[in-house]
Every structure is written in structure tokens, then in C-alpha cells.
Amino acid sequence: MKNRKSYSRREFISASVKGAAVISATSLIGTEAFGSFEKPGGIPRRILGKTGLSVSILSFGGGSMFLKNPDGEWEPILQKAIDSGINLFDTAPEYTVANYFKNGDVKKSLGSEERFGAVLAPYRKNIHIITKIDNRDAAGVKKMVETSLKNMKTDYLDGLLIHAVSDKDTVSDLEKGVYKEIADLKRQGITRFIGFSSMDSAERSKDILMNLDFDIAMLAINPTKYRSYASIAVPVAQEKNVGVIAIKVLRDIVGKDAKPPELFEYVWTEGHVAAAMVGHTGMKTLEENIKIALKYGKKTEASLDRIEIETRLASYAGPHALSWARPGYRDGGILV
């Protein structure tokens, strides 16, 4: 390419320190941008902001996509994730499976936290586990966390997040309520770090980041630019060195309009994003995602035109295509 600026290795590393941002659509990417390649598996790892945690850029979400895996299939999927070097796992008490029968009876299968406990417990020292608090009732927080710890067979969490922050939440209400409780759990060492997740209010996320002391922000970031988290909330997180995890990557949502490697590269080249948190339905999907992460880690050149893919997928921004943008959406479990 003519007139392309050349960067020395030293210059590139310096430019990449904050968030491993790509300098342009065709600039060089150094492996230092990802952190070290740790075994097993070689999936690149990045530092999750001020937590100091080294996390796999491909992480494992325990929500509805994972819960779709029936008994006998989710166990080897979790094991494969561990064996491949994925070391960051996210769940919530609300991630459950309810089986409804014709006579009206309900039988619950193991929820996400319990599934995690069944497989991940032997590897606890080598992985990072995040769970979330959906209820805004501060009085119930500690009891919910006690149950989560029991379900996952652990005595501490790496992250405890306020689930699905929206415009209904205010800084003052959170500060006096659930935030106060999770901050106290952090002081007690029950959770190492605290944070929040959000998928439909970048402005409220920005407000919270500016006024409360969080360690982790799990934000909806994808090429549709729905709610504009990357331009509104991420800069504040970067300024405060709050670790950012991208959710709602769009894997398997936009069909043929964008390939999975493009969607992953988009979030992995967004400044200050440490990891993509993704649910995996079926072993084939997990294996494909692992291959994408491994291949991306070996790149020496960015292959994605960010503006082009944003233009291509702009029509998906909204409730007609994004389930979480619909009124009344609840980020919970599944019914089968």
C-alpha cells in the first residue's frame, strides 16, 4: 500500500499500551498488544484494567446460549474451554433452565452457576469467575452471594457485578443500595473486584463510571454501534482504568452479513477492551471461536475496515434485530 506509515516495534508497542487499539485499518498489530500467550491452548490474554487479572480474549459466558446445551453436552464444552486456555467465566443466578411439561409441571435443570461448580471447581486457582446481582434490593445481596458461592463450590469470586444497568438505575440509588453491599463484600475479600454490566444505556454507564469506584464494566459493543458504548462509556472506563469486557458481540445474530472472525476482530481491536464474553451453543461453535482467537493472536496486520463493517451492519441497530433492545427483555435463563 502506497504511502503507508511504517512503525518500528518500539513505536507500535508504545501506541498500543492503552487497550491495544489498532492504529488504523491496516496498521501492524504486535503480539505484545495481547499480553502473554499462556498455556494450555495459546489463546492470547490481556490485562483487565486495574484488576491486574490476565484474561483470555475469548471468554466464556454462562447465559442462555450456554444453557441451550443439554445435559451430557455442556460438561465436555466447559472442559474443552478449560483445556483450550479460556480462563474467564461469567454467570448469574438468573441463568437457569426451566423445563415445562404439558400438564403444567415445572422441573428445573442445573443452572449456569451449578454447571460451573460441577466442572470448574478443580481448576479454581487457575481461572477467574464473575457472577452478577440482578436484584436491586440491597437486603438480599449477601444471601444471594452465599448461594452463588455454594453453587460454584468456591469461597470467593473474582468479580461481582450489578446486572444489566439501565436508565432505571441512578447513581444515588445504587450508591445507597446494592453498590454499598458489593463494595462491602469486596472489603471482606468475598469478591476481589466489583463492577456492572449494561446493554442498553451507555449514558447511564458513563454516569456510573464517573461517580462510583468500579473495577470492571461489561458493555455491549459490536459493529451496529447500538447505544454507542464505545464512544460514550469506554473512554471514561479507559480514563479510570476500569477493565472492559465486551458482550453482545453478535455471533450468529447477523447471519451471512458478517462472519464471526470479523465480529470478534471488531471488539478485540476496540481500544481498552480486554475480552469478548461469548456464550457457546454446541461444541462446534466453541471450537470455531477458539480457532478464531488463536488465529487472531498470530496476526501481524489488521484485516478489518471498521467503518465498512459498521456501515454494513448499521441496519441491525434496534429492537427489530437485537433481542436485548426490545421492551421487557430480561437477561436470564431459558425455557425448554
pLDDT of residue 32: 46
For residue range 193-233, list pLDDT tens digits in order.
999 999 999 999 999 999 999 999 999 999 999 999 999 99
Residue 334 is predicted with a pLDDT of 81
Residue 336 has pLDDT above 80, yes or no: no
For residue 104, what pLDDT is reported?
63
Whether 41 has a pLDDT exceeding 70, the answer reads no
User: Distance between CA atoms of 129 and 61, rounded to whole angstroms?
Assistant: 10
Nearest 5°: phi and psi at 42?
A: 75, 10
Length of the chain: 336
pLDDT of residue 181: 98
Cα Rg, the chain, nearest whole Å: 19
| Ordered structural domains, the chain, with CATH | 40-335 (3.20.20.100)
The model's pLDDT over 103-118, given as tens digits with 9 standing for 90+, comes to 666 666 789 999 999 9
Q: Is the pLDDT of residue 26 over 60?
A: no
- DSSP annotation of 140: G
**Exposure class string for 37-69: b at 16+ Cβ within 10 A, else e:** eeeebebbbbbbbebebbbbbbbbbbbbbbbbb
What is the percentage of the chain residues whose pLDDT exceeds 90?
76
What 3-state DSSP class applies to 199?
coil
Higher-confidence position of 333 and 148: 148
Considering only 44-58, 106-120, 131-145, 172-186, which range has the smallest mean pLDDT? 106-120
Average pLDDT taken over every residue of the chain: 87
Instruction: Give helix 74-83 / helix 112-120 axis angle, nearest 10°.
Output: 50
pTM: 0.88
Q: How far apart are CA 83 and CA 85, in angstroms?
A: 6
Q: In the structure, what pLDDT confidence band is assigned to residue 101 with cuts at 50, 70 and 90?
A: low
Res 14 pLDDT > 60: no
Q: What would the mean pLDDT of 239-253 be, rounded to a whole number? A: 94
Confidence of residue 299 (pLDDT cuts 50, 70, 90): confident
pLDDT of residue 24: 35
Say which residue, 2 or 161, is predicted with more confidence.
Answer: 161
What does 254-303 look like in DSSP terms, one character per residue? SGGGS-HHHHHHHHHTSTTEEEEEE---SHHHHHHHHHHHHHHHT-SB--
Instruction: Return the pLDDT at 120.
Output: 98
Identify the residue with better confidence: 207 or 298: 207
Write down the pLDDT at residue 122: 97
Q: What is the pLDDT of residue 106?
A: 65
Which residues contact residue 155 at a Cβ distance below 8 angstroms, ignoring those fewer than 6 apart?
Answer: 149
What single letter denotes the amino acid at residue 228? S
